[in-house]
Structure 1
Amino acid sequence: MSTVVHAKKRKVENHSALTELRQRGFVPAVVYGYKTEATPITINAREYEKALRLDGKNSIVTLEIDGKKLNAVLNEAQKCALKGTLVHLDFLAVNMSDALEVSVPVNLIGDSVGVKEGGILQQPNREVTVKVKPSDIPESIEVDISTLEIGDTLAVGDIRSTSTFEILDTDDFLLVTVSVPTVEVESTEVDEKATSEEIIGAR
């Protein structure tokens, strides 16, 4: 069952009016999509942040707009760079019977063998795009990295066959790399430079 978030229609307002709205604890937003024209709305910031904590950003919410209910998923959230507070929200109204494309975080599990040996773990892409029905949207996709050694990489093609979701990214879409450590090499270069300087100084 989706969380109900109460909203009200609003007029398109200027910057100062939107600032005042946020100061009163509300977030300007817009909803569009399935059988829904783009509609500016206002949402109680505290109520929506509570829903985020309980269900996650990819969950379906029931927007109750002036008594009318519709199912929607968060499409984009803008936050204040300094305070981290919500500034604006975009909601996509959805048909619960139709699959949609959504970005899902990649959650790494396990301890890489290569990292234990000193390798450097990097995650070039932290999300993948999946096609899934709204009720089945995962909060994240777990990827086991425990067998990765130094020099190994892991891409979408490596997890596609074991994933229960249809991943739309290409097989070469890189998710994880375990690279060779560079600290020791740099340290050696510094030591060699210092030794050379000492020899020159002793002459």
Structure 2
Amino acid sequence: MSTEIQELKAETRERVGKGSSRELRRNGLIPAVIYGDKQEPLAIAVSTKDVTQRIRAGGFRTTILAIDVNGEKINVLPKDYQLDPVRDFTLHVDFLRVTGNTHVTVDVPVRFLNEDKAPGIKAGGVLNVVRHAVEMNALARNIPEALEVDLTGLKVGDSVHISHVKLPRGTTPVIADRDFTIATIAVPAAGVQEEAEDTAATEE
């Protein structure tokens, strides 16, 4: 992850509830809560524009933020957010307080590299992604931006398992009892159909 902690301005909320939340949204703010680290939850409001931009940029829930609450900076990790199902704007955000020793569980996206160096794909095979993200245990300060999977040399029928992925130091997959599959190089559907037709013709 990036060592530079991004900042986000916020203000405390004295009132909570649906009426207060609607008023905040009309004023371009999103109701949010900071919780964790054995402290009382803190109700805050953050800029709709700033939060929406960060969500759309990707990696929102794996990026530590320093929230400036009336001059006090609190390091947090976005844990969840709610979107309006119809109008697709952010309704609420939950932030988790983090320190240097905070362990978290996060979904880390998978990034595939060197597709052009995979003989199976060059021959017409299809990258079949089984997991677009992997649930990981990590120190909050060591959350990786992505798990990188190198496809170099993979042929049709080959699989990539979690054991093939170089994991950042201090991180472990939540699933620890099996070597689960990340992706495979599959035969394209057309190829399967042609093979079936060839088999049928041979049998006749």
TM-score range, shorter chain: 0.7 to 0.9
Residue 114 (structure 2) aligns with: 110
Q: Does 1:157 align with 2:160?
A: no
- TM-score normalised by the chain length of structure 1: 0.78
User: Structure 1 unaligned runs (5+)?
Assistant: 191-203
Give the distance between the partners of 1:2 and 1:134, measured in 2 at CA.
12
Q: Does 1:131 align with 2:140?
A: no
Q: CA deviation at 1:92?
A: 0.6
Question: Which protein has the larger Cα radius of gyration, Structure 1 or Structure 2?
Answer: 1
Q: Does 1:179 align with 2:186?
A: yes
Q: CA deviation at 1:82?
A: 4.6
Residue 43 (structure 1) aligns with: 46
Q: CA deviation at 1:6?
A: 1.7
User: Structure 2 unaligned runs (5+)?
Assistant: 198-204
Give the distance between the partners of 2:196 and 2:107, measured in 1 at CA.
43
For the Cα contact (< 8 Å) 1:32–1:91, is it kept in 2? yes
Show structure 1 runs of 4+ deviating over 6 A: 187-190
Q: CA RMSD in A?
A: 3.0
The match for 1:73 among 77, 83, 89 is 77
Post-superposition CA distance 1:36-86 (Å, at most 9, x none): 322332111223345567894222111122333211011112233454432
Post-superposition CA distance 1:3-55 (Å, at most 9, x none): 221222323212x5434432332112121111432233211122334556789
Give the distance between the partners of 2:153 and 2:86, measured in 1 at CA.
39
Give the distance between the partners of 2:153 and 2:26, measured in 1 at CA.
50
1:2-21 equivalences in 2 (<5 Å) = 2-10=5-13, 11-14=15-18, 17-21=20-24
Residue 94 (structure 2) aligns with: 90
Amino-acid identity (%): 28
